[in-house]
Amino acid sequence: MSRFREALECGEFVVTSEVAPPLGTDLSAMRRAVETIGPHCHALNVTDNQGATLHLSSLAASRVVLEMGYEPIFQQTCRDRNRLALQSDLLAAWTLGLRNLLAVTGDDPRSGDHPHAKGVFDLDSTQLATIAAGMNGGHDMLGRELDGATDFFIGGAMFPEAEPWDIQLVRAQRKVEAGMRFFQTQAIFDMAKLERAVEALRPMGVKVIAGVLLLRSPRVIDFINRRLAGLMVPEHIADRIRGADDVAEESIALATEQVREIRQIADGVHIMSLGLDSAVGRILETKDS
């Protein structure tokens, strides 16, 4: 059993963050990020062509993270692969020692650096979770017995602040029924909505890890408000960041406050540092006091 899984299932408040594989084969920047963030985290998400932009595969990069002594969460997107490739990569991931899976549908390639790429979307994240759960049970999606099963700890994304909430809740319920055992949420700004989500999902036996995004510049706020469906930075927070003498320091202070609140609500926190990797330890220093 992975350390990350064991911690969540034992009720420990977990910390995750994420690293981006490089555009190329030079792993030095990714390794520095892992070495900076890793000691503070139970596991590290390894993103899969995030934002529909080209990067080294999550499969290869996750193995590197594992070899460095940290626990990866292998991220697999349905955007770039059909059901045959998805199943093949899942078997490869397990064979390479990857034990945690984040199943995501993926961004539209038209928003990325290869806008003419054909989005596959043969399956969605819920269907992918169903396949992974089936492999845990020893069979492929056609029901054929595998010569060696997997035992992935399967997770996915959820969106507590997206409305209407009843639709979001139904989608989350279907993901749980498909085999997801933890959720990492979109960035949280409204703690009441996070609490609503946790209260609804906890009886289903699923763990909720709340997202915290470092608003390191006004451009990040503008991007979120223009481009990310179901998420909006509240005006009072936007004004706080835009009016700060030191925007980076103010974003760290805000994230620290958010983590303190999340500790009282959710099962963990997922920190999206946007390059402010050295701040992760500072953000986590303050406990419940």
Q: Catalogue the E-assigned strands of the chain.
A: 14-19, 43-46, 72-77, 100-104, 153-158, 182-187, 207-213, 268-272
| Domain membership flag for residue 230 | no
Of 101, 83, 102, 90, the closest CA to residue 149 belongs to 90
- pLDDT on residue 226: 84
**pTM of the shown model:** 0.95
Question: Is position 225 within any domain?
Answer: no
285 in a structural domain: no
Helix (H) or strand (E) holding 45: strand 43-46
Output the tens digit of pLDDT for each of the chain's 289 residues: 789 999 999 999 999 999 999 999 999 999 999 999 999 999 999 999 998 999 999 999 999 999 999 999 999 999 999 999 999 999 999 999 999 999 999 989 998 999 999 999 999 999 999 999 999 999 999 999 999 999 999 999 999 999 999 999 999 999 999 999 999 999 999 999 999 999 999 999 999 999 999 999 999 999 888 877 778 899 999 999 999 999 999 999 999 999 999 999 999 999 999 989 999 999 998 654 3
Peptide bond into 115 cis (omega under 30): no
Alpha carbon distance 187, 233 (integer Å): 9
Contact 47, 58 (CB under 8 A): yes
Range(s) of the domain holding residue 164? 3-216+266-275
Look at strands 207-213 and 153-158 and give their pairing.
unpaired
Indicate whether 41 belongs to any domain.
yes
Helix (H, G, I), strand (E, B) or coil at 182: strand
Distance CA 225, CA 242 (A): 14
Residue 282 inside a domain? The answer is no
The beta strands (E) that lie in 171-264 are given as: 182-187, 207-213
Domain count, the chain: 1
Is 73 inside any structural domain? yes
Spatial distance between the Cα atoms of 140 and 183, rounded to a whole number of angstroms: 24
Whether 80 is in a domain gets the answer yes
Helix (H, G, I), strand (E, B) or coil at 14: strand
261 within domain boundaries:
no
Looking at residue 224, what is its pLDDT?
87
Other C-beta atoms closer than 10 Å to the C-beta of 238 total: 18
* Cis peptide bond N-terminal to 21, omega within 30: no
Write down the pLDDT at residue 86.
98
pLDDT of residue 289: 38
Query: Rounded to an integer, what distance in angstroms lies between the CA atom of residue 263 and that of residue 180?
Result: 22
Report the distance separating Cα 199 and Cα 183, nearest Å: 14
- Rounded CA-CA distance 180/157 in Å is 10
Question: Residue 121 is part of a domain; what is its CATH number?
Answer: 3.20.20.220
Angle of the 235-242 helix axis to the 218-227 helix axis, nearest 10: 150
Give the pLDDT of residue 287: 56
Write the DSSP symbol of residue 232: -
